[in-house]
Chains A and B, each alone.
Chain A
């Protein structure tokens, strides 16, 4: 344990003694995989045959005309199998689990995307699978619970704490400290103790590697700015990973919820509300009170509703390499509506945060400029949440009717 995964002052590995040996094993497996080129080619080939990689890059011509500024390109992570970038990390960790010879995987999930991806991977690789999900998220993302169960996973509803993503992470850790001999914890984002932030960012960097080549090919130049939403930070780290060495501005967009002055948000890096702390095994900016107790967060997008953020992104904010902004719930719904109408694209509510900021800035740039937005996931799967966000009367009537049918039976 010499390298404990620090990025500036952030990161580290603050874990109970009982997990130290398990993390040593994981760090070893990760380092072996990373230094073995056959791992990456196996990963790329798996993603090509199982998950539609390379995902396309779409020129958003109508939105470009609409805003009259920079040319807008969209990286289509929504076209992955299971509907989001989450599957990149999950399949990569699945290959690692095979290498480590374990037979069971566990995961936390917020929006349910990561849980569905993990259940899918477990089905394909023949692992048994348990997914921890906060009670609040189970309610707002019930369809994903249905899919996880159908895929053969056990879904455990977490009723502790604030009953959202962070509480699901705590429960997954509690499972792991009991069952680590045969179990791997597939953490879903670029957070947690070393090596997770680094390892997840590495597996997600497939997004940025592809996108860089695709933008160059499609537009003849590198983007002026790239935009990604930031929950834990994995899709952002994945996209940004393609452009760290270029003169490209990187913009991370967090959940502004009901506004940064409302305290009902999940902006750790774009607001002044978060402070340095150590929880869930790592050091970063957390939304917490004076005593260090984690606060409640809010976002219309379950996948962005998290108290901490990738330690790598925390450091990139300190160094100024990445700029952070926030999009409110209302702005997100508006940007989603516009994107559907103009392009026929349906971004996930999470991804729509990135669109909000890109739309704010596109008009101030020239037609020589290129901007790139990561559509990290698809929204049509989240029909219940999005229908609620639009407060769609026809949909509500349909659900009531459906409920009557079930009641009548």
Chain B
């Protein structure tokens, strides 16, 4: 089934879905696997697996440090792909890869997407690849029936949102605010107007990320978007309470 339809179907049962994020190999591959286990047990609907990169320009300090530490601990692209294959085999939710374009480019976009498909990955999020630069990527993703997730931001104009939506698959990732991952977001009225613009630009499901970290944030998003994305906050929970703290945190969100 196409990812968008899968999301719509799940939304029949739940009024908001949760997508969580991990940096693969942080703090270790064993811990990454246990975190995925906990998240799935806590009822997460989708997951982003971030392949670490040395120059993650769109990420804030928490995820940046996790990228660096994962690399220092020996996280390689190959190990991340093997990991992705394993979690996809073991757990019955859609997994997405998130990484920066150089990782795909260096591997070879065609080979990389081939590996993704073979691993059963649903799609990918590449934050430094706007659709204008994405010709090879889009062709390769299409050939492998993978969903290219693209991003809307509050300063994306309506017309551009429609262009982006034409290339997008699965869902559209709406960035809640300016800035990098991990900072505060105020969910204001202005914000509702932005979401309305996103909604008008595409029929695809909408995910909302950047700064979602509590039950009240998730409650606020109910009925407004299809998926709430919890990124940095789970890393903070992991750092403070260890792997065992993750499940309780996720269960408390919804």
Contact = CB atoms under 8 A, between A and B. Distances in A.
A178 interface: yes
Contacts of B29: none
B79 to A, nearest CB: 10
A76 interface: no
B235 to A, nearest CB: 15
Contact of A277 (B76, B105, B164): B105
Contacts of A278: 101-102, 105, 128
Interface in A1-19: 1, 4, 12-18
A21 B157 contact: yes
A314 to B, nearest CB: 15
B68 A4 contact: no
B42 to A, nearest CB: 29
B133 A13 contact: yes
A161 B133 CA distance: 26
A20 B64 contact: no
Contacts, number: 108
A73 interface: no
A166 B175 contact: no
Interface in B125-168: 127-130, 132-133, 150-157, 160, 164
A161 B156 contact: no
Interface in B156-204: 156-157, 160, 164, 175, 178-180, 183
B160 A20 contact: yes
B102 A277 contact: yes
A173 B77 CA distance: 25
Given A17-B153, A174-B180, A4 B132 contact: yes
Given A14-B101, A292-B53, A21 B156 contact: yes
Contacts of A386: none
B107 A14 contact: no
Contact of B156 (A17, A281, A286): A17
Contacts of A275: 106
A16 B132 contact: no
Contacts of B155: 18, 20-22
B103 interface: yes
B60 A16 contact: no
A217 interface: no
B236 interface: no
Given A14-B101, A16-B151, A280-B55, A178 B77 contact: no
Contact of A279 (B61, B64, B100): B100
Contacts of A170: 55-57
Contacts of A179: 178
Nearest to A308: B55
Contacts of B101: 14, 278
Given A14-B128, A277-B102, A20 B71 contact: no
A293 B53 contact: yes
Contact of B106 (A13, A15, A17, A292): A292
Contact of B55 (A17, A161, A177, A178): A161
A26 to B, nearest CB: 14
A409 interface: no
Given A14-B129, A16-B58, A278-B105, A177 B178 contact: yes
Contact of A288 (B58, B60, B106, B164): B106
Interface in B49-82: 53-58, 60-61, 64-65, 68, 71, 76-77
Contact of A291 (B65, B68, B106, B151): B106
Contact of A174 (B57, B77, B100): B57
Interface string A151-167: 00000000011000010
A294 interface: yes
Interface in A276-325: 276-281, 286, 288, 290-294
Given A16-B58, A17-B127, A18-B153, 12 more contacts: A4-B132, A15-B130, A17-B150, A18-B58, A21-B156, A160-B68, A166-B55, A178-B179, A275-B106, A278-B102, A288-B106, A291-B106
30 contacts: A4-B132, A13-B133, A14-B128, A14-B133, A15-B128, A16-B57, A16-B128, A17-B156, A18-B58, A18-B155, A18-B179, A20-B155, A21-B155, A161-B68, A177-B178, A178-B178, A178-B180, A180-B178, A277-B105, A278-B101, A286-B102, A288-B102, A288-B106, A290-B106, A291-B103, A292-B53, A292-B77, A292-B106, A293-B54, A293-B71
Counting from the closest, the 7 A-B pairs by CB-CB distance are: A292-B106, A178-B179, A18-B153, A292-B102, A293-B54, A17-B151, A21-B155
